[in-house]
């Protein structure tokens, strides 16, 4: 089979739509993963009745496949509640799953803040909320950025899973296009290159950020 630029041109409209879906799911997933992970990380430092349920839940989520979680969110959950749009289910699935990883990143970042910082805030009578906000989280966040960035890239590479619940991201579009036209080489190649074109600059950005944070 020969490479056919005409096929590439035919695929491009589908590709753009798929790319947009991928980036949207990634953006929402990242937002959810970053904020929910932070909530988990702070919650596990709370009282036992908060700590243990959170630890149990996150451990469960981390140790079950993302695919199963996506199926659950999209096919099982609506049996009890309202049907959620597929983008919402996809973003929540990705975000929730990765929040259990970002949680560990934040936890490590928080634990790396020296105990003297807590004591200094305490000595200045800062409230717990103020201590987190002004002292602990800014320092923990700084240490967390590189590892968080790596999870964004990992999440990007897992976005094709959302096609299984019908959310047409890049790879889903490529497969649909292939099934229709019997041309797989061009769409899959385009999508493969697109992943590299998104992921590689992103990882460069993370490394630059890492260097910047390290020097300051």
Partner 1 sequence: MDTPQSTPQDDPARPAGDATTPEAVPGAGDGRREDGPELIRFQDVTKRFGELTVLDDLCFSVYPRKHVTLIGPSGSGKTTILRLLMTLVKPDEGTITVDGEHLTHEERHGKLVPAGEKHVREVRKKIGMVFQQFNLFPNMKVLRNVTEAPVHVLGLSKDEAEARARDLIELVGLTEHIDKYPTQLSGGQQQRVAIARALAMRPKVLLLDEVTSALDPELVAGVLDVLRDVAHSTEITMLCVTHEMSFARDISDCVMMFDKGRIVEAAPPEQLFGDPRHQRTRDFLRSVQ
Chain residues binding partner 1 by CB under 8 A are 114, 116-117, 119-120, 122-127, 130, 134-135, 138-139, 142, 216
Which residue lies nearer to partner 1 by CB, 2 or 215?
215
Please answer whether residues 155 and 30 qualify as being in contact, where contact means their C-beta atoms are separated by less than 8 angstroms.
yes
Toward partner 1, which CB reaches closer, 127 or 179? 127
**Minimum CB distance to partner 1 smaller for 1 or for 123:** 123
Picking from 7, 28, 12, the residue whose alpha carbon sits closest to that of residue 167 is 28
96-121: b (≥16 Cβ within 10 Å) or e: bbbbbbbbbbbbebbeebeeeeeeeb
CB 122, min distance to partner 1, A: 6
- The minimum distance between CB 131 and partner 1, in angstroms, equals 10
Distance, in Å, from the CA atom of 101 to the CA atom of 147, rounded to the nearest integer, reads: 10
CB of 168 to partner 1, least distance (A): 43
Closest separation in Å from C-beta 126 to partner 1: 6
Count the neighbouring beta carbons within 10 Å of the beta carbon of residue 62.
14
**Residue whose CB is less far from partner 1, 63 or 129:** 129
Query: Residue 213: helix, strand or coil by DSSP?
Result: helix
């Amino acid at each position: 089979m020969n490479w056919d630029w005409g096929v590439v041109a035919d695929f491009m409209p589908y590709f753009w739509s798929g790319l947009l879906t991928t980036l949207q799911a990634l953006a929402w997933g990242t937002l959810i993963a970053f904020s929910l992970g932070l909530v988990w990380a702070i919650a596990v430092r709370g009282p036992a009745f908060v700590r243990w349920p959170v630890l149990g839940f996150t451990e469960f989520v981390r140790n079950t496949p993302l695919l199963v979680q996506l199926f659950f969110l999209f096919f099982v959950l609506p049996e009890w509640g309202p049907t959620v749009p597929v983008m919402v289910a996809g973003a929540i699935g990705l975000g929730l799953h990765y929040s259990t990883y970002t949680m560990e990143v934040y936890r490590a970042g928080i634990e790396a803040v020296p105990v003297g910082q807590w004591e200094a805030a305490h000595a200045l009578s800062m409230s717990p909320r103020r201590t987190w906000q002004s002292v602990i989280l800014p320092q923990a966040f700084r240490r967390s950025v590189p590892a968080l960035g790596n999870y964004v890239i990992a999440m990007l590479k897992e976005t094709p899973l959302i096609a299984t619940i019908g959310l047409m991201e890049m790879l889903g579009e490529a497969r649909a296009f292939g099934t229709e036209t019997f041309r797989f080489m061009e769409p899959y190649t385009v999508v493969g290159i697109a992943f590299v074109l998104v992921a590689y600059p992103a990882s460069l950005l993370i490394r630059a950020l890492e260097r910047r944070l390290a020097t300051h």
